[in-house]
Structure 1
C-alpha cells in the first residue's frame, strides 16, 4: 500500500506535469478547437486509455524489454512522426459534407483512436512511465506491481479530468469561431499545423544516453 505522504507528493508531481505545456495538451486543444467539446473529450479519452496501456506495460516489464532493444527509440519516433504527418494531411483534406452542405463531424471513436495511437508511438511517453512511476513505489509497502498499477490508474484518471476540462475550454473557443467566415478552414489548418509541429518534435528528439 502506498503511504499517504508519498501519494500526496505523487499527486502534486502529476498536477505540475499537466500544467506544463506538452504534446498531449497541444493534441487536446487543437482537436477541441477543430471538432468542438466532443472532439476535446474524445482526445482526452484516448490519451487516458494510452496512459493505462503504458502503465500496464511498465508494471509487467514489457516497457523494459522494448527499451532494451537499441533501435526501438528510432522505430517508435519515426512511426509516430509518419502517423502525425498523415493526420495533418487528413486535416487539410476537404471534410465530408451532409446533404445540407454542412461539414460532417469526425466520428468520436476515430478521434479516440487517433489520440491513443499518437500517445503509444511516442518514445518519450514510454520512457516517462518506466522512469516516473517507480519513484513513488516502496517495496516494503506491498507488491510493487500493484503499487505501479495504482499509481498509473490514478494518473490516467487525473489526465482524463484535466484534459476533459481543457477540451471543453478549447471546444467553446471552436464553437465561437464557427460564426466567423472561413472558420472551418482556419480550424482544420490549425489542427494540421499542430500535427506537423508534433511530428517535427518527434523527429528531433534527443536519444537518451541509456536504454531506449
Structure 2
C-alpha cells in the first residue's frame, strides 16, 4: 500500500525552481555553460542535443534498433551510455511526484500484453522525460492531443537528473529518468480538471 502523503508534489513554477536549484544547482550551471562544447563525448553537449530532436531518435533506437545501420548503432549506443551514466550519478534525496503526458495507445504498448491492468508492472526501454509541475505542460499536452497523464511516484534513491537549458521553448521543469525504469500501475481515475485519464504509477526498479 502506497502512502501518498510522504511524496512531495510541486504545484508552482517557483516551488519547482527552488527545489531544482537546491539539489541540482551546480549541475544545471555546468550543463548550461558547456552545452556548445564540440566534444562529442561531453554530457552537456549530448544532453543539449537530446532536448532538441535527438530524444526521439535515441528512444526509437532503444525500443527497436533493427532499422538503424551499423554506424548509427555504434554512435547512438555510445551517446546513450554517456547520457544514462551522467544522469544516473544522481539519486533523489526525498520522495517526489512527477508527471508525463502521453497517448493512451503509447502507454499501453509498454505492457507485455498491451493491457492496462492495476497491479501490473511495465518497463520503459527508453529515457523517460517527466515534468515536476503538471499544469506547466497543460497547453502542450492539449496541442499534441495527449489523452492521458502518468502520475509517477518516485521514491528516495531514484536515479535521474533535472535538465534545463536557458533557450528551451518550454518551461517544463524536466526530470529525466534513465532507460529501463520499471513502474507498477497502482490505479487510474478520470480527471474532470484535465479531462483525461490519470494513471498513478510507482517506480519499483531501475
Q: If the length of structure 1 is used for normalisation, what is the TM-score?
A: 0.27
Larger radius of gyration: 1
More helix by share: 1
More strand by share: 2
Using CA pairs under 8 Å that are at least 6 residues apart, name the structure with larger relative contact order, 1 or 2.
Answer: 1
